[in-house]
Amino acid sequence: MNPKWLDGHQPSLVDIMPNALHLLGGTLAPEHDLPTWATQDTTQQIIVWLIDGFGYHQVQEALARGLMPTLGRILKTRQGHLEPMMTVFPSMTPVALSSLMTGKFPDQHGIVGQVVHVEGESVDVIRGPLPDSLKLESPGAALLSAQSNIPYRVVIESRLRHGALTTLLHQDAGQIDTFVVASGLPVVVNQALAQQTTGIIYVYWSGPDSINHQKGAYGMEWTAEMKWLDLCLTELLATPRPGAWLWITADHGHIPLDGALSYNDFRTHWHALPELPTMVGPAIAIDLDNVSAMENFLLQWAPVPIQVMAVRELWKQGYFGSSHDPHFVSRLGSHVLMPPSGWYWQLNHEKSLKWSHGGQSPDEMTIPWVEINLGGHP
């Protein structure tokens, strides 16, 4: 493992919101400038559309197959461009979305996995319930926008409106618009654009992630999803909006899976483990006193080699951010049990995934950043 994506020399997911706020006149200066064509003097609106699981390599594949003709046409003109960028580690939805919202790495906003220890309890950041003490440790986009008097709205699926992660990321319910079915997404976004002629509109869509997990990429449903995304983009482009820009990105990519490790089976052999482990991508984190004993046991029990790595050492090497300050190490445990790429931990074998994410492979870590001028050519 080599956290080269955190070398401090290239834009990443954490730079998107600070750059959007800066272009709209905010006081927060981004740490890295995005390769944007937008300028401060002409930009009035920015739509940040995060498509869950829509990794850079899948965007390229969709374009190569001709599944996104509208996007392909735009990228051949001066109306839009596509750049690869890095997400954060672990490359998981709650971690990455927290980084997008705050403009900070996980070691600063504190959401360092999907399941973390808080006040002695294991808390699933997506499924909840969340204790009152668990909050973003850095200001989110809504607060940063308010501090600079920049209007800010959120567009998400109705089923996610009262979810734990939505509550964590978007405390102001008055800023949230929802849609019920997929076809409603461009309708609601266009309504928000018409009603809010300046500021940021954040849009979230989960479709590719669900398909990748359950069916895998590049099959029939994935193909249909790519075509729908392009149709959605076509609708968003139907009305020219001078001064408006669309930024499309993702939280992570996906890789195909070879197998799974059952945590419940693991518990029957290694006693005194919590019912729900902390989850760091495809790995689990546990409190461990005897590393040698664990390594010897895993050699006998696991069908594939499992690395036992100290969380503090990973933190010092920059896997959770660039500050190297293990302030939230207690939220994980003392050691990470990391399977090889293509394997992951799950509670049991009842529901196997086809593809997944969370690790540090290029497919998981590389995400797209698409910029499109909604007013036409610059």
281 in the same domain as 179: no
* CATH number of the domain where residue 62 is located: 3.40.720.10
Residue 111 lies in a domain: no
Query: How would DSSP label each residue in 106-139?
Result: HHHH---SSEEEETTEEEETTT-PPPTT---SS-
Residue bearing tokens 């499924």: 127
Q: What is the pLDDT of residue 280?
A: 83
202 in the same domain as 77: yes
Of 206, 190, 201, residue with least CA distance to 247: 201
339 in the same domain as 198: no
278 in the same domain as 221: no
Q: What is the pLDDT of residue 120?
A: 82
Tens place of pLDDT per residue across the chain (378 aa):
455 555 556 789 999 999 999 999 987 778 889 999 999 999 999 999 999 999 999 999 999 999 999 999 999 998 999 999 999 999 999 999 999 999 999 999 999 999 999 988 889 999 999 999 999 999 999 999 999 999 999 999 999 999 999 999 998 878 999 999 999 999 999 999 999 899 999 999 999 999 999 999 999 999 999 999 999 999 999 999 999 999 999 999 999 999 999 999 999 998 778 888 888 888 999 999 999 999 999 999 999 999 999 999 999 888 998 877 788 989 999 999 999 999 999 886 666 789 999 999 999 999 999 999 999 765
330 in the same domain as 265: yes
Residue 113 lies in a domain: no
Nearest-angstrom CA–CA distance, 316 and 20: 30
What one-character DSSP code corresponds to residue 12? Answer: B
334 in the same domain as 202: no
365 in the same domain as 222: yes
Q: What is the pLDDT of residue 1?
A: 43
- The most distant pair of C-alpha atoms in the chain lies apart, rounded to whole Å, by 64
* CATH number of the domain where residue 290 is located: 3.30.1360
Residue 69 lies in a domain: yes
170 in the same domain as 151: yes
Residue 145 lies in a domain: yes
Residue 238 lies in a domain: yes
Orientation of helix 220-236 relative to helix 184-195, angle to 10°? 20
The domain tally of the chain equals 2
pTM of the model: 0.95
What the block records as the tokens of 124 is 């699933």
Q: What is the pLDDT of residue 277?
A: 87
Q: What is the pLDDT of residue 3?
A: 55
Residue 120 lies in a domain: no
287 in the same domain as 212: no
Range of the domain at 338: 258-352
Q: What is the pLDDT of residue 378?
A: 55
Phi, psi (rounded to 5 degrees) for 199: 105, -160
160 in the same domain as 62: yes
Nearest-angstrom CA–CA distance, 19 and 28: 9
345 in the same domain as 326: yes
58 in the same domain as 144: yes
Residue 116 lies in a domain: no
Residue bearing tokens 């509208």: 70
Alpha-carbon distances, residue 226 vs 68, 69, 302, 330 (angstroms): 6, 10, 37, 40
Residue 334 lies in a domain: yes
What one-character DSSP code corresponds to residue 68? Answer: -
